[in-house]
Structures are given as C-alpha cells and as structure tokens.
Structure 1
C-alpha cells in the first residue's frame, strides 16, 4: 500500500490558503479519479482505493498543521505502513510559487507540520513533495503570509503546479519514488 498525505488546516476558513496546497493536491487526485475521502479515524480523513494491483491511501490530517504528525503516525501504524510507503505534500517558503521538488528525506526547514511529523515518526527520512509558495514581500509576518491566499497573478501557475504535483503522485502509484524524482525534479 502507498499513502499520499497532503498537509493543511481543516475547515473552510483555510481552504484556499498557501498553507493548504497539500490539501489542494489531494483534492485534485480525488477529482481526477472520482474518489471521495469516505473514512475518518485517528484525526484524519482518508480513503483507500486501488490503482492496478496497488492499494493507495489518500489522507488529510484533521489536526491543525502544527499537529499533523499526530494524525499521520497512528494511521501508518494501523495500516502497517513503512516510511517508504508514504509521501507527504506540503507548502515550502524556500521555493518560488508553483515550483515542486521531490526529496527522499530532509529537515523541517521551519515548517511546523513537518516538524510534528518528524517528532511523531522519529525520523526525517521520509519521501516528500515540497510545493513552492515563495516568501512574503515586505514586512508581512510569515504566519499571515502562509494563511493568506495566493496573489491573483500566481493563481494560474499554482493551478498548473497542483496538476503537476498530482501527476507526480499518480506516477508514484505505479513507479518507484526515485523514478518519479528523476521525472519531476527537472
């Protein structure tokens, strides 16, 4: 089984914020496969589907971003998933808006959802898809920036990148993470 986890904050207030690009990629995968998050357990909404002979679990934590690991770890344990069975999608201030980067491991880079995940899993060596949101211009505090919506001029590139990130996830359902990295980290 492979597990694709999109990080974000639950609720309509946060729906179209930069911090929720992980949720947006999950939503795109649900849309294109006509799937629904029909299960809820361990502070997460999820579904288990089949792609060819592979089982795929799509997940959105229902915790707020800073506690994401509290939803991820118990669901991984319940389904007996290893670190190599997951990929976590999250926003990244250090990449330009819309740029995606896949990595097999890394630190939290100040991202509290990834910090929580590292703390809960006891390792920073898990596959991830970083989704660029850029940094705020001027004196805007980072929390206000990540909880704000994308600038109008960035919306087309963000939509295109959400599709590209979903393409990478679709590819991972059938190929190794290394192959997906080679294809999508161009």
Structure 2
C-alpha cells in the first residue's frame, strides 16, 4: 500500500532553516533517520521509504509553497495514491511552537500552499499535519517571521519535535489516521 507524504516549503538556500520550511525539515529528518536520500524528479525532490509493509513516497515540491498543488496532483496521479492516503505537512501560525495537529480534512486556514493544493485536487478531504510555529511577531511583520530562522529557544527544542513528527508520520502509515490523531495531537 502506498502513501504520499508531502512536506511543504520553498526550494533554495535562502529558505533553509526557516519556519515556513518545516515541512521540508520534517521530511529531511525522516529520510535521514531511515538512511534514504532524496532525488530530484518532476516537480520536486522525492524519496521512497519502506515501513511495515507500506511504501511512503516522500515529496518536497520544488514549485514553491504557493503552487504546491501542481506537484501534489502530479505525484498523486503518478503513484495512484488517493487523497485519504496523502498527508500534507505544513507550518501553522495559530499553534504554539512544536505543537502537532493532525486532521482528516479542513479548510486551508489562510495557508496559500494548502489553498493551492485544494484547488488543484478539488477537495478539502485529505489528511493534513500542522506543525505549530506560533505567532510571535508584531503587526505587519508576519512575512518576515514566517520566512525567518528559528530563534535560539526554538532551535534547542527542534530536534525532539522533529523526532516526534517523524513518529507521527510513520504511525499514520502503519496504524491509521484516527489512532495517530489520538496519540499525537497536541503533543
């Protein structure tokens, strides 16, 4: 059984280590822990992970965040993965730093990457994994904050949060969405 795990972010060195690229960072951590590497393919960097009889296709779109739907739709079709076996990993300003929130479906919550995915796959009914980046910015500085690097406190806690995020993704593929939400939401 195949699963598509999509980490949202922006390609390019200037975006590496920024809050908005947490989707890429989580997939990099998962690939690193699994001793697999990404290859540049059509519309993104892709790696294949085998876990408990499942195949996880890890995708980091290179279409930039706001056009992520093009890569998602292409890889869903190519790998024949239905929306319910796709998990989109993204940042969320509304959650405290490091908080995990997994949902079966939902709105884009103002996130342009999710908005584009929903427009191109024509549904809001797909699992999403939101990683809290908090909202510690003053009025008018949201873009600088989201595209900014982790502060010292966040950096010191990030390793453990990445590990927990990787566990949640593997859980999604092995024991299913409902049980994974019970074990990992708000942890």
Q: Aligned with 1:4: secondary structure?
A: strand
Are 1:23 and 2:24 counterparts?
yes
CA-based RMSD of the aligned residues comes to 1.2
**How far apart in 1 are the matches of 2:65 and 2:30?**
20
Gaps of 5+ in 1: none
Using structure 1 for the length normalisation, give the TM-score. 0.95
Shift, 1:142, TM fit: 1.4
What is aligned with 2:4? 3
1:57-93: CA deviations, max 9, x gaps? 1110001100011110011011111011100000000
**How far apart in 2 are the matches of 1:103 and 1:175?**
15
Shift, 1:140, TM fit: 4.4
Are 1:154 and 2:154 counterparts?
yes
Using structure 2 for the length normalisation, give the TM-score. 0.94
**How far apart in 1 are the matches of 2:157 and 2:96?**
11
What is aligned with 2:183? 183
**How far apart in 1 are the matches of 2:39 and 2:10?**
18
Q: Aligned with 2:174: secondary structure?
A: coil
**How far apart in 2 are the matches of 1:91 and 1:116?**
15
Q: Aligned with 1:174: secondary structure?
A: helix
Q: Is the 8 A contact 2:51 2:170 kept in 1?
A: no
1:45-65: CA deviations, max 9, x gaps? 112232232111111000110
Shift, 1:103, TM fit: 0.5
**How far apart in 2 are the matches of 1:99 and 1:157?**
12
What is aligned with 2:139? 139
Paired residue total: 185
Gaps of 5+ in 2: none
- In structure 2, the CA distance between the partners of 1:49 and 1:162, relative to structure 1 (3 Å rule), is closer
What is aligned with 2:105? 105
* Runs of 4+ deviating beyond 3 Å: none
